[in-house]
Amino acid sequence: MGCGGFRVEGEYDPTVRVPDPYLKCVSFIGEATSEDSAGIHGELCATGFFVSVPLPSEHLPQRAFYFVTAGHVANDLSDRPTYFLINKRGGGVTGVSNILDSTWWTHPTDRTTDVALLPVGFQKDADISAIALGDFVKTDDFSDQTIGVGDEVFITGLFTGVTSEDHLMPIVRQGNIAMLPREQIQTDLGYADVHLIEARSIGGLSGSPVFVRPSVTVDNGHARLDASTKPKLLGLTHGHWAIKESDINKPQIDHDRQRGVNYGIAIVVPAAKIMGIIDRPELRELRQLQEDALKKKSIPGMDSAKAGKQQTFTKDDFESALKKASRKVEPPKS
């Protein structure tokens, strides 16, 4: 975990098999109930994933990293001891020990965006990947029809029915884009900008990344064939569309998560909404301060013990950056 090895990249396997980096980008999150010499134990309830963001000048090998999950998951756990579980290099599991900021950052203007993120730092014993910004679905991908209705999607996340304290085993659910609404759709948080996919979401998948395999047309001179390219992050799993069982066959239905049954349609928060949080002025400023701190650490002679070594951004560095901010960095309001 750290620098280039923290990012989802490399050769793409065009088969239907999900490559390992898309399984390794997720972490499970839940309520901690006890701690002993073996680590923290608790009740896992949801999923999150890691994102890597270039620093402003984009020439340093280091990146800023964020843990992303659903906003309702962060809210549900806000008054309880929380822990994050990831796979450990060499086997076993461990927690996310280098959380730089305990404040959950949310969308600055759209309160219906069901996303929350935490800045995290380097952790050498973690066996995880992160999603690079270049692998986010962008608005242009829809307008130029790179991505559209019918494209295959898959979700990687927690299956609460099968958990292990020795190894994280994400479940994969597959489906396709069912609708790309041009107007807001009803959710638990009100009417929101979302995508709808044909996939049965379950409780532990809240906060999971949703990937899409963009369709392309290949012309070999004789026929035009459908193919797919490297998966991109379509967005984050908010939950499922639910209705009363008695209303399943009615042409008009009411979304009822409290008393309804899973209708087989999952609600996805668009990747652009996650970008809206990452692009907050406060977080942009903190990334600039992170770059300044790393440059200072890398100056020859500043610290002979660190000379020639790749420098990392620690929690102390983050807290120092907060103090140096040109304007007070206010935590997001819930």
- Total count of domains within the chain: 2
In a domain, 333, yes or no: no
Tell me: do 290 and 274 sit in the same domain: no
Determine the pLDDT at residue 328: 57
Amino acid at 255: H
In a domain, 160, yes or no: yes
In a domain, 124, yes or no: yes
DSSP 249: T
Tell me: do 201 and 313 sit in the same domain: no
108 beta partners: none
Closest of 236, 277, 284 to residue 106, by C-alpha: 277
HSE on the CB side for 263, CA within 13 Å?
25
How far is the C-alpha of 300 from the C-alpha of 313, rounded, in Å?
17
Domain boundary among 261, 278, 295: 278
Could you read off the pLDDT of 164-209 as tens digits, one per residue?
A: 667 888 989 999 999 999 999 888 788 899 999 998 767 789 999 9
- Classify strands 232-243 and 261-270 as parallel, antiparallel or unpaired: antiparallel
Tell me: do 67 and 53 sit in the same domain: yes
Tell me: do 299 and 248 sit in the same domain: no
How far is the C-alpha of 125 from the C-alpha of 17, rounded, in Å?
27
Structural domain that includes position 308: 284-324
- Helix, strand, coil percent values for the chain (each to nearest 5): 20, 35, 45
Given a contact cutoff of 8 angstroms between Cβ atoms, the answer to whether 40 and 83 are in contact is yes
In a domain, 332, yes or no: no
What tokens were used for 97? Answer: 């020990």
Q: What angle do CA 41, 43, 46 make, to 5 degrees?
A: 120
- Classify strands 131-132 and 39-54 as parallel, antiparallel or unpaired: parallel
Amino acid at 250: K
Tell me: do 273 and 288 sit in the same domain: no
Tell me: do 216 and 295 sit in the same domain: no
List, in order, residues 6 or more apart from 264 with CB less than 8 Å away: 198, 199, 200, 240, 241
Tell me: do 218 and 194 sit in the same domain: yes
- CATH number of the domain encompassing residue 143: 2.40.10.120
How far is the C-alpha of 48 from the C-alpha of 26, rounded, in Å?
6
Tell me: do 200 and 312 sit in the same domain: no
Determine the pLDDT at residue 330: 62
In a domain, 228, yes or no: yes
How far is the C-alpha of 169 from the C-alpha of 16, rounded, in Å?
18
How far is the C-alpha of 74 from the C-alpha of 164, rounded, in Å?
23
Q: How does DSSP assign 165-214, residue by residue?
A: SS----EEEEEEEEE--SS-EEETTEEE--EEEES---GGGTT-EEEEE-
In a domain, 50, yes or no: yes
Tell me: do 202 and 309 sit in the same domain: no
What tokens were used for 124? Answer: 């050498």
Tell me: do 87 and 31 sit in the same domain: yes
Looking at the chain, list the stretches that DSSP marks H as alpha helix, in order from N- to C-terminal side.
20-24, 71-76, 139-143, 271-278, 281-298, 315-324
Domain boundary among 278, 294, 312: 278
How far is the C-alpha of 76 from the C-alpha of 269, rounded, in Å?
18
Determine the pLDDT at residue 232: 94
Determine the pLDDT at residue 169: 87
In a domain, 334, yes or no: no
How far is the C-alpha of 9 from the C-alpha of 130, rounded, in Å?
9
Handedness of CA 118, 123, 126, 128 (dihedral sign): positive
Determine the pLDDT at residue 145: 79
Closest of 158, 56, 112 to residue 269, by C-alpha: 112
Given a contact cutoff of 8 angstroms between Cβ atoms, the answer to whether 119 and 101 are in contact is yes
Tell me: do 294 and 273 sit in the same domain: no
Q: pTM to 2 decimals?
A: 0.82
Given a contact cutoff of 8 angstroms between Cβ atoms, the answer to whether 181 and 266 are in contact is no
Question: In tens digits, what is the pLDDT along the chain, a chain of 334 residues?
Answer: 444 334 444 455 555 678 888 999 999 999 988 877 777 778 888 999 999 999 998 777 888 999 999 999 999 998 898 888 888 888 888 888 888 888 899 999 999 999 999 999 878 888 889 999 999 999 888 888 789 999 999 999 988 766 666 788 898 999 999 999 999 988 878 889 999 999 876 778 999 999 998 876 666 666 554 555 789 999 999 987 664 444 445 555 455 555 444 567 899 999 999 999 999 999 999 999 989 888 887 655 444 334 345 567 778 888 787 777 765 566 565 4
In a domain, 97, yes or no: yes
Tell me: do 127 and 107 sit in the same domain: yes
